[in-house]
A and B are shown apart, each in its own frame.
Chain A
Amino acid sequence: MSRADWEVVIGLEIHTQLKTKSKIFSGSSTAFGAEPNVQASAVDLGLPGVLPVVNKEVYKKAVTFGLAVGADINRRSVFDRKNYFYPDSPKGYQITQLDLPIVENGQVTVELPSGGTKTINLTRAHLEEDAGKSLHENFHNQTGIDLNRAGTPLLEIVSEPEMYSSEEAVAYARYIHQLVTYLGVSDGEMSQGSLRCDANVSIRPVGTVELGTRTETKNVNSFKFLEQAIEYEIERQIQVLESGQTVRQETRLYDSDKGETRPMRSKETATDYRYFPEPDLLPVEIDDAYIEAIRREMPELSGAKSERFVTQYQLSQADAFSLAGNIPLADYFEEVVRSGRDAKLANNWIRVELLAQLNKDNISIENSPVTADQLGAIISKITDKSISGKIAKTVFEALWKGETNSADEYIEKQGLTQVSDSSSLAPLIDKIISENPKQAEQFRAGKTKLMGFFVGQVMKETQGKANPQQVNEILNEKLG
């Protein structure tokens, strides 16, 4: 058997830290990078007698996300306790939402890098508190506990197990990351742990329906590692099953140094979390007016954006979907076409030239060396025929490399403006015809293919700056 004989099934749990000033149940700051434990209050430390109080903003963010993925927003949601002992979980339990989460049943459609789209259903998104951090270095064989992160609000977004490749899983995770960042639900800073994925991976023989035993690889904090962890897990499970063993249901960790996953705990401790409704918190109830107020404040979502791009800019459905699905890219596009620039041309330039360069140099659109204004100026120069498409690429490259800040200035300085002035082109064309009498003779005798030769000569003389249309016209006239 080989890889082709197995079908992969992946479900993701994405933990995203919510962008709030204070924690979910206390008035401690959530700012990243503080000295250890200076942002850990009595509530965060789980001192006896303290009580949690829910942060209003956390609900607003969760509802915003729910609306963005077309989910059901539960008018009544309830917090529960999940009991387990771990030093970075100060109370001996985590407050989370089990039976009545704030968000249920959403759906997203994402574009796949290899082409096509994929629709993924979201089971739920629930609120919970983050844990602290364990530091294993430099404490003479002890572990240091920093509880600054304990109580940071998290939205855990749970997908259905319906992604069938690491490509789909990564495309989905990227989409969620971009969405929560765009909505302001999260700051999206992955290097600071603002978005962490748990990947549930199982395999089953192609053609079977029953799911295989899954493993859960926890806390993967980059898209690259997510892809690597899933790929490693697929290969590992295939090897295990093909050698006649069974996959153990377990929690694993991805070790990015070694490029492998391994069981998280040496011995799998008891995982009976003994959930029960949190007696320290009452149910949270919200009404339609609250939800509608949030809906009104929300920025335009990709579906509506895509439709608008078709009607407003006459883009094709596919182009519009692709742009709108990537919000920073859509924003970039709209900036380029501001003041009525040619939208189709802009779309082509962005999706062909710009994206190719960005991908090649692994730069995000937000950090593009060529700004929307600069690309817009190039588009304007092409549309008013000041430069040809070929020259435009030269200008684009100069901007990309930082050789100039302004397309206009560069075109001017380098003398790249297209020569469309017949009074300067005509004498040049006369000269070329007289220098190539044989070709002129053949042309006049009907060998019109030679037009290309003459145009080429003109371009050579003008270093590509002649307006090709104009050259054609003059040549036809002179050789006619």
Chain B
Amino acid sequence: MIVDKDVVLNIAELAQLQIEDDEVDHYVDSLGRILQLVEEMQSVDTQGVEPVSNPLDGIQRLREDRVTEEDQRELFLANAPESEQGLFLVPRVVE
């Protein structure tokens, strides 16, 4: 895998990170080196091995359908960078 500027910029777009022109090389370099390090993974035979997404291999317990939450709006809104009339505000979304 060859990491270039476009790869990094595309990934940054997906992750909604702004990378300045003078930073791109830094991320190209670090991503490239990390991928080189993990390249060793390809030598491991994983044919037919079930991937782990949770190591406990358990089964999900389900909860009863009950309303257990109370209104804590004012508490949560106090953390918001900007809010009004009980709503979180963001720059206008055009649809």
Q: Do chains A and B touch in the complex (CB under 8 A)?
A: yes
Residues of A within 8 A of B (CB): 20-22, 26-29, 35-42, 45, 47, 53-59, 78, 83, 85, 87, 134-136, 139, 141-147, 253, 264-266, 270, 272, 274, 276-279, 281-285
Q: Known interface pairs A37-B88, A136-B93, A145-B88. Does A20 touch B73 (Cβ–Cβ under 8 Å)?
A: no
Selected from A39, A54, A147, the residue in CB contact (under 8 A) with B60 is A54
Instruction: Name the 7 nearest CB pairs between A and B, nearest first.
Output: A27-B68, A144-B87, A57-B65, A277-B53, A56-B62, A282-B60, A41-B69
B contact residues around A41 at 8 Å (CB): 69, 72
Task: Please state if B90 and A40 are interface contacts (CB–CB under 8 Å).
Answer: no
B contact residues around A55 at 8 Å (CB): 62-63, 65
Whether B95 is near chain A, meaning CB under 8 Å from some CB there, is: yes
Whether B34 is near chain A, meaning CB under 8 Å from some CB there, is: no
A contact residues around B62 at 8 Å (CB): 53-56, 59, 284
A contact residues around B53 at 8 Å (CB): 78, 276-279
Give 6 A-B contacts (CB < 8 Å), ordered by A residue. Answer: A27-B68, A37-B88, A85-B16, A253-B95, A274-B14, A282-B54
A58 to chain B, nearest CB (A): 8
Selected from B14, B58, B68, B91, the residue in CB contact (under 8 A) with A143 is B91
Q: Which of B38-77 contact A (CB under 8 A)?
A: 51, 53-54, 56, 58-69, 71-73, 76-77
B contact residues around A142 at 8 Å (CB): 82, 89-92
Interface string of B1-41 (1 = CB under 8 A from A): 00000000010011010000000000000000000000000
Residues of B within 8 A of A (CB): 10, 13-14, 16, 51, 53-54, 56, 58-69, 71-73, 76-77, 82, 84-95
A contact residues around B60 at 8 Å (CB): 54, 281-285
Q: Known interface pairs A87-B93, A144-B85, A266-B94. Does A56 touch B67 (Cβ–Cβ under 8 Å)?
A: no
A contact residues around B58 at 8 Å (CB): 282
A contact residues around B61 at 8 Å (CB): 53
Mostly helix, strand, loop or mixed at chain B's interface? loop
A38 vs B60: C-alpha distance in the bound complex, in angstroms?
A: 28
Look across to chain A and name the residue whose beta carbon is closest to the beta carbon of B63: A53
Task: Please state if A22 and B92 are interface contacts (CB–CB under 8 Å).
Answer: no
B contact residues around A277 at 8 Å (CB): 51, 53
Task: Please state if B87 and A20 are interface contacts (CB–CB under 8 Å).
Answer: no
B contact residues around A85 at 8 Å (CB): 16
Look across to chain B and name the residue whose beta carbon is closest to the beta carbon of A284: B60
Look across to chain B and name the residue whose beta carbon is closest to the beta carbon of A147: B88
Task: Please state if B59 and A145 are interface contacts (CB–CB under 8 Å).
Answer: no
Task: Please state if A21 and B65 are interface contacts (CB–CB under 8 Å).
Answer: yes
Task: Please state if A54 and B63 are interface contacts (CB–CB under 8 Å).
Answer: yes
Look across to chain A and name the residue whose beta carbon is closest to the beta carbon of B88: A145
Selected from A27, A139, A279, the residue in CB contact (under 8 A) with B54 is A279
B20 to chain A, nearest CB (A): 20
A198 to chain B, nearest CB (A): 15
In the complex, besides A36-B87, A142-B91, 15 extra interface pairs with C-beta distance below 8 angstroms are A22-B67, A36-B85, A38-B71, A39-B69, A41-B72, A42-B72, A53-B62, A54-B62, A54-B63, A83-B14, A135-B87, A146-B86, A272-B14, A277-B51, A283-B60
A contact residues around B16 at 8 Å (CB): 85
Task: Please state if B65 and A40 are interface contacts (CB–CB under 8 Å).
Answer: no
Task: Please state if B67 and A29 are interface contacts (CB–CB under 8 Å).
Answer: yes
B contact residues around A284 at 8 Å (CB): 59-60, 62
A332 vs B45: C-alpha distance in the bound complex, in angstroms?
A: 64
A contact residues around B65 at 8 Å (CB): 20-22, 55-58
B56 to chain A, nearest CB (A): 7
B70 to chain A, nearest CB (A): 8
Task: Please state if B66 and A144 are interface contacts (CB–CB under 8 Å).
Answer: no
Q: Which of B63, B66, B82 has the most CB of A within 10 A?
A: B63
Task: Please state if B92 and A136 are interface contacts (CB–CB under 8 Å).
Answer: yes
A276 vs B10: C-alpha distance in the bound complex, in angstroms?
A: 19
Task: Please state if B91 and A22 are interface contacts (CB–CB under 8 Å).
Answer: no
Q: Known interface pairs A28-B69, A29-B69. Does A38 touch B86 (Cβ–Cβ under 8 Å)?
A: yes
A57 vs B56: C-alpha distance in the bound complex, in angstroms?
A: 25
Q: Which of A38, A146, A265 has the most CB of B within 10 A?
A: A38
B92 to chain A, nearest CB (A): 5
A contact residues around B10 at 8 Å (CB): 270
Look across to chain A and name the residue whose beta carbon is closest to the beta carbon of B62: A56
Task: Please state if A27 and B69 are interface contacts (CB–CB under 8 Å).
Answer: yes
B51 to chain A, nearest CB (A): 8
Task: Please state if B94 and A39 are interface contacts (CB–CB under 8 Å).
Answer: no
Task: Please state if A35 and B66 are interface contacts (CB–CB under 8 Å).
Answer: no
A54 vs B54: C-alpha distance in the bound complex, in angstroms?
A: 16
Task: Please state if A139 and B63 are interface contacts (CB–CB under 8 Å).
Answer: no
B contact residues around A270 at 8 Å (CB): 10, 13-14
A266 vs B9: C-alpha distance in the bound complex, in angstroms?
A: 20
Task: Please state if B73 and A283 are interface contacts (CB–CB under 8 Å).
Answer: no
A135 to chain B, nearest CB (A): 7
A35 vs B92: C-alpha distance in the bound complex, in angstroms?
A: 21
A contact residues around B51 at 8 Å (CB): 277
Q: Known interface pairs A55-B62, A270-B13, A282-B59. Does A139 touch B84 (Cβ–Cβ under 8 Å)?
A: yes
Task: Please state if A42 and B76 are interface contacts (CB–CB under 8 Å).
Answer: yes
A contact residues around B54 at 8 Å (CB): 279, 282
A59 vs B61: C-alpha distance in the bound complex, in angstroms?
A: 12
Q: Which of A39, A144, A146 has the most CB of B within 10 A?
A: A144
